[in-house]
A and B are shown apart, each in its own frame.
Chain A
Amino acid sequence: MSIFSLFRKKTSAPLARERLQVLLAHERASAGSDLVAVLREEILAVIAKHVQVDADRVQVTMDRDEHVSVLEIEVEIPLPSAMKAA
């Protein structure tokens, strides 16, 4: 590393990588959008039978790995105390 690199602008590749990761996560989810949407609705219905959840707090995404696709389900369940406070 030379002294000049201290004055150089930040490199651009890390930003490219970050933008791609965000974009592709989104595009992969919408490519199989029918399936993901159906799953999301049904999962939400099952959970709602047992706990109170906000529909906006349920995230279903499909991600791809080398050998398998990974279905990621993230459900935010508020604590009982938070519900009382709300």
Chain B
Amino acid sequence: MGKVIVVTSGKGGVGKTTSTAALGAALAQRNEKVVVVDFDVGLRNLDLVMGAERRVVYDMVNVIQGDAKLPQALIRDKRLETLFLLPASQTRDKDHLTAEGVERIINELKKYFDWIICDSPAGIERGATLAMRHADMAVVVTNPEVSSVRDSDRIIGLLDAKTLKAERGERMEKHLLLTRYDANRAERGDMLKVDDVLEILSIPLIGIIPESMDVLKASNVGAPVTLADARSAPAMAYFDAARRLAGETLPITIPGDKRGFLGKIFGRKAA
């Protein structure tokens, strides 16, 4: 049975869709069967980030309403055999995403895939709670910035209350993914430190993704950053995070911390 992961944040624009695509492609490169599911009805973007926007025929609402079978709606990635996308509906209303429909789809996906990664919409409304409902594990995407941390705290509360796992009295496994981390700002003391965010949110860290142009470039060409440029700093951070998701223990490095003597002298100018 596949594992269901929700990528969530509360706050918008922190990197959920970027992270869903990057983690999905990283896991698929380990030869595991992965489907990334877009829950952002009306504002779908995962198709674009994955470079599959022109191949969308059917979406999740079509499957829920019986207009298409699940395999017809799944889009196989052109580069990775084991990576699939289930798009959200762009035209329909969110109300068409019913709780029963979502449950049916997730249960079916669990039979065929090792990982089902759900890209949550921003906010704490129905779309977000539906995306987290069936999760076995949550990746809480947070930027080192006050409003993002506050919203993540809200989302952690919901994960512990509104999910099937929580309702059954089981513990929801939650992981913090700190994204858009800027080493220079951290050094100047004008960005919340990793330790500060960890202490405040009290959930284990699964990775720190640096702020990087490589993320933008990857989305321009329509490829997850772990496919577009596997050697770039954000891609390597996502690869490590994916390995931790899969259960490996690796030491976490804070981006920019490894700079040596010359790096410290010239780092500022280079950035």
Contact = CB atoms under 8 A, between A and B. Distances in A.
Given A20-B149, A31-B157, A65 B202 contact: yes
Chain B interface size band reads 20 to 34
A16 B153 contact: no
Q: Main SS of chain A's interface residues?
A: helix
B122 interface: no
Nearest to A67: B171
B271 interface: no
Given A13-B192, A17-B192, A23 B157 contact: no
Given A13-B193, A27-B153, A64-B156, A20 B188 contact: no
Interface string A55-78: 000000000111100000000000
B63 interface: no
Given A21-B200, A64-B202, A11 B188 contact: yes
B167 interface: no
Given A27-B153, A64-B156, A20 B190 contact: no
A11 B189 contact: yes
Contacts of A47: none
Nearest to A17: B196
Given A24-B200, A64-B202, A11 B153 contact: no
Contact of A13 (B157, B171, B189): B189
B191 interface: yes
Interface in B119-154: 145-146, 149-150, 153-154
Contacts of B202: 64-66
Contacts of B203: 66
Interface of B: 145-146, 149-150, 153-154, 156-157, 171, 186, 188-193, 196, 200, 202-204
Given A16-B192, A64-B156, 17 more contacts: A11-B188, A11-B189, A13-B186, A13-B191, A13-B196, A16-B196, A17-B196, A19-B146, A20-B200, A24-B150, A24-B153, A24-B200, A27-B153, A27-B154, A28-B153, A31-B157, A66-B204
